[in-house]
Structure 1
Amino acid sequence: MNAIIFHGTGPHASFDKFWYQPVADNLRASGIDAVVPELAKLDHEPLDDTLQEFEELGLHIGDDTILIGHSAAVSVILALLERINTPVKACYLMAGYCSPNGMAHSALKESYSWDRITANAGECFIFNSFNDPFKCNQDKGIELFNHLGGTLLLRNDGHFLKKQQPLLLKLIR
């Protein structure tokens, strides 16, 4: 099994900041090949450019892949799921959204092919918070859940920026 962890944007764009690397390290320790590709311009360039940059990395995506995304990276994962031809094992979407949240986002599409995404997404776990300061709150989580199904986890964890994400790790294993 392999995991690809997509970091957020803005102050979250540093791929070694917050929980991305600790989660990847923990997954590798448990036998899962995990990477955190650095997409420095995620949500600061056109979405197609970010997807092209990701595709050029040549990372394996197949039925043994789990995709983990934080914040604006959830939009990138949704767009990626529209493009691929092989369903993934699971998606873990942290503080995500699929419609405007009051901020400018170049990674957010105007509309999505939800049938295609759900056909490729595998099992979905959606994490959102009641107290998210960036408006990636329970309403955005419910909206994702209504499109994707799966499991919706509503918490009081802000924007999921803590160094450790034990619930995420527990659900992956």
Structure 2
Amino acid sequence: MNAIIFHGTGPQASYDKFWYQPTAKTLRESGIATEVPELARLDREPLSDTLKEFDELGLPVDENTILIGHSAGVSVILALLERLQAPVKASYLVAGYCSPNGMGHAALKESYSWNTVKANAGECFMLNSFNDPFKCNQDKGIELFDHLGGTLILRNDGHFLQKQQPLLLKLIL
């Protein structure tokens, strides 16, 4: 089994911030090969460029893959799922959104082929917060849930920027 963690965006976001590396370390220690690719221009370049950058990494995305995305990283996951030919094992969408939240997002598509995304998402979990300061809140979680089904968990964890995400790890492991 393998996992890929897609980081969020913004002035402080990168592959080595927040919970990404501690989560990857725990997953690796549990026997899950885990990568946190740095997508340095995520959400500041066209989505097609970000997807090309990801493709060039050559990371496997197949029935043994767990996809984990945070914020704008969820947009990358949705686009990946839309173009797959077979489902992944599971998708974990943390502080995700699939429509504008009042901020400009180059990684967000105008529309998705939701039947394809849902068919390829595997077991799907969405974690959103009532108190998300970037408006990736319960409304955005409900919107994702309406498209994908699965399990929606609503918290009061802001934008999920804490160094540890024990609930996420409990769900995965």
Residue deviations 1:105-129, cap 9 Å, x none?
0000100000110110001000000
- Aligned sequence identity (%): 79
CA RMSD of aligned residues (A): 0.6
Residue equivalent to 1:37: 37
> Where in structure 2 are the equivalents of 1:62-77 lying within 5 Å?
62-77=62-77
Calculate the TM-score normalised by the size of structure 1: 0.99
> Where in structure 2 are the equivalents of 1:7-26 lying within 5 Å?
7-26=7-26
Contact 1:13 1:42 in 2 (8 A): no
> Where in structure 2 are the equivalents of 1:84-95 lying within 5 Å?
84-95=84-95
Question: In 2, Cα distance between the equivalents of 1:11 and 1:171?
Answer: 29
Question: In 2, Cα distance between the equivalents of 1:10 and 1:94?
Answer: 15
Amino acid at match of 1:100: P
Residue equivalent to 1:129: 129
Aligned length: 173
Amino acid at match of 2:131: N
Calculate the TM-score normalised by the size of structure 2: 0.99
Unmatched runs of 5 consecutive residues or more in structure 2: none
Question: In 2, Cα distance between the equivalents of 1:61 and 1:109?
Answer: 21
Moved over 2 A (4+): none
Unmatched runs of 5 consecutive residues or more in structure 1: none
1:14 deviates by 1.8
Question: In 2, Cα distance between the equivalents of 1:89 and 1:12?
Answer: 30
